[in-house]
Chains A and B, each alone.
Chain A
Amino acid sequence: MRIAIAAPCIVLTVTSAWWTVGLATGGGLWPSDDVTLPEAVATRNNAEALRLIHHGADPNRAGRVRDGFLTNGYAIDVLPVEAAVAAQRADTLRMLLANGAIVDARELRVLRCLEQSRHDSGVREMLDARAAGEPDCTGISLPTDRTGSR
């Protein structure tokens, strides 16, 4: 009977011991994730994105984002700013722009069209401040589409 009552604690103790062993070997319970810059942005991890930039990651270079973060069923290669717009994160977009990300006229059009498929008022406000009128999205393939991935 005592063993039955103590069983949940025993299970947790053994599991905790396993996590501790994992810690010693660099794993453990829910270890920190290794991500690309666009992936950090896509997972709303602004601090990791900033850390990667400080460590030399180029905020104007496309990188892989695994299936499930911005898309379902396939992975994509996108620019960090595109990941920010797709993730509907105005704060991340602002942070990227303040830390070296460059958005030219062509990319601005892509971002504004992307925002039209993933609405976010904060993102729209930031992008609209850089261009007047409605964007012309004819002929634009979105970076989050399978065909538009870089």
Chain B
Amino acid sequence: MLEVAGRSKATLLSLVIAALITIPLANSLYRVPIQVSDSLEPIVVAAKADSTISLLKESIRFSPTTLRPSRYLQARWLIELAEKTRVTYTAVFRGVHVALLFVLVALFFLATRVRDWTDLTAFSVAFLVLLGIHTFAAMLFEAFPVNHYAEVGACALAVFVLAQRAPRWYVPIVACALLVIALSVIESGAIVWLTVVCCAAAGMPGIKRSTVISTTMLFGGYLLIRDQLGIVSPGVGGHGSGYGAAFYSAEELAQRFGAHPVGFMIYNVVGGLASLLFSEPRNGVYSLLVSWRAGAIHPVVTVNVLSSLATTIVLVWYATRYAHIRRADWSDADRAFLAAAVVFLANAALTAVYIKDEIISVGGLFYAVCTFIAVRALIASLPEKRAPLASALCLFLAADAALWAFRVAGVHYQLRYDAFKTRNDWVEVLREDKRDDWPHDTRELAVTQRLRTEAIERKTTSPSFLPRKGDAYWVE
């Protein structure tokens, strides 16, 4: 009875912590207007299409390197929803961004399965890692009308949650549906299939052979469709990316690495992994290198690197267990840790052509899951250690958690900044002194005007009213 009571209290408390921290974060996220970059064009395209079917057909031919039909379909559905319910575009589109934030938090809550006070303590660290890691912030800043990276993250995390539970007949169906959703919004949705494979390979109970086979066939079919449509993967030079201490444009990268891309691709994959483990580099650029050249390290780099380094040390400590325990003796936590770790390692491989924090955002979610498992094990081991060592480890975890809490507070700051910048971007759209450049299509003009008016009418906080040192400690 006592155990059950303790379990329910710890579970409830973790839910309360998650909710209380997420609510103001959701508010900060909702304050960001619909973006001009990456949002205006697809919303206008979606609004102008004659029908959903014609939009679907057209969207397949939009780009020779991408197949993202749901990007436009979802935008159209949301426009229709806004017009039917007579609410603002902002409420609908930004509402979906916020809803996805809550879905991700809910799935993380389910993935951690807090049952006792040790779990709760580990959750109090891991939850900060989830929200504070730069890849999560990058996911929140996503400028697409619907946050595709968050959708992919939610799909991958949902597969992981299913994998933790007892096998059910519907798991292959749900896993296939999640894979279809993820692949239809963005190519990095392939991480959902990788998650299925990793969970099965690690021996997690919920994923059986049928799920692996069905999702693999589906993924194979997706690749076949891409091939039939003549859609090719973008090579080096398709996007700008960082290298060393500088960021290079797509043209510069093509010129520099186009002929011999392998070295650059290895650099990117290693960089993607290092970014997850150490918060460096960011978008391929090593801020530490920039700081070293400038002779001064920016405080934000110090905070980010130290917090990630400390957490990664705990993860490496946990991973050494596998050297001492036979596979047959692995616990559920061991299997979950292995699956999650391989997912974020595999996610790094998706950065081969160019690095963006958003591409490794799913890896960031699984990094936080690994943190929960490793920190839980470390806390559980403290009573067996000598008092000075246990105290030192306790201080180490508390200091690390404090750095992560500081990073979470920084997400609010960055979102305020993003809201300010995004709102001001709309001033450059439909300029009074450039009426000749306004769209001639009445539907396009009406949608653009409505989006612009809604964005400008939403008051934001100017950075002039934010803490003066915020840039130094929170913006990289």
Contact = CB atoms under 8 A, between A and B. Distances in A.
Given A9-B124, A48-B459, A1 B382 contact: yes
Interface string A91-106: 1001101110000000
B397 interface: yes
A54 interface: yes
B398 interface: yes
B120 A6 contact: yes
B299 to A, nearest CB: 18
A33 B462 contact: yes
B431 A2 contact: no
Contacts of A44: 424, 462-464
B379 interface: yes
A46 B456 CA distance: 9
A50 B459 CA distance: 11
> By CB atoms of chain A within 10 A, which of B398, B463, B466 has the most?
B398
A6 B404 CA distance: 12
Interface string B362-396: 00000000000000000100100000001100110
B451 to A, nearest CB: 13
Contact of B395 (A4, A15, A40): A4
Contacts of B1: none
Contacts of A51: 456-457, 459
A45 interface: yes
B121 A12 contact: no
A137 interface: no
Contact of A13 (B21, B382, B464): B21
B217 interface: no
A15 B409 CA distance: 10
B117 A16 contact: no
Interface stretch (B22-30, B89-97, B194-202, B249-257): B22-30
Interface stretch (A24-32, A113-121, A140-148): A24-32
Interface string B441-464: 000000000000001110111111
Query: Across chains A and B, which 5 residue pairs bring their CB atoms closest together, nearest first?
Result: A9-B124, A32-B459, A98-B433, A43-B464, A6-B124
Interface of A: 1-2, 4-13, 15-17, 19-20, 23, 28-33, 35, 40, 42-48, 50-51, 54, 69, 91, 94-95, 97-99
Interface of B: 16-17, 20-21, 23-25, 27-28, 117-118, 120-121, 124-125, 127-128, 379, 382, 390-391, 394-395, 397-398, 401-402, 404-405, 408-409, 412-413, 416, 420, 423-424, 426-428, 431-433, 455-457, 459-466
